[in-house]
Amino acid sequence: MQPLDCRRCGNHVLVKKNSFAHTSVQWTEANRCAELTPTDLTERALRPGCSQMRESIDDAVRAGVIEVPEP
């Protein structure tokens, strides 16, 4: 897994790309993420992830910072 920080909130995660379609994310400090810490627990349970982190990961892949294995 490769370290990456969210460009919005600075949350630190570990990322592994198994393919362009499959991404594994290990959150180390989700407490700073506004998208992952709504006050309503039902809303949080329904939230699939953080859009800003997704964009940060996509940008890192395009920049070559996060490696994607060859098919």
In a domain, 71, yes or no: no
In a domain, 32, yes or no: yes
Question: DSSP 3-state assignment of 14?
Answer: strand
In a domain, 69, yes or no: no
Q: DSSP state, 21? A: S
In a domain, 70, yes or no: no
**pLDDT computed for residue 4 by the predictor:** 94
**pLDDT computed for residue 33 by the predictor:** 76
In a domain, 34, yes or no: yes
pLDDT, mean of each 10-residue run, the chain (71 residues): 90 91 82 66 61 93 92 74
What is the four-CA torsion angle of 66, 1, 20, 53, rounded to 10 degrees? -70
Say how far apart CA 26 and CA 5 lie, in whole Å: 12
43 HSE (CA, 13 A, CB side): 8
In a domain, 68, yes or no: no
**pTM to 2 decimal places:** 0.77
Q: Say if strands 23-27 and 2-5 run parallel, antiparallel, or are unpaired.
A: unpaired
Domain count, the chain: 1
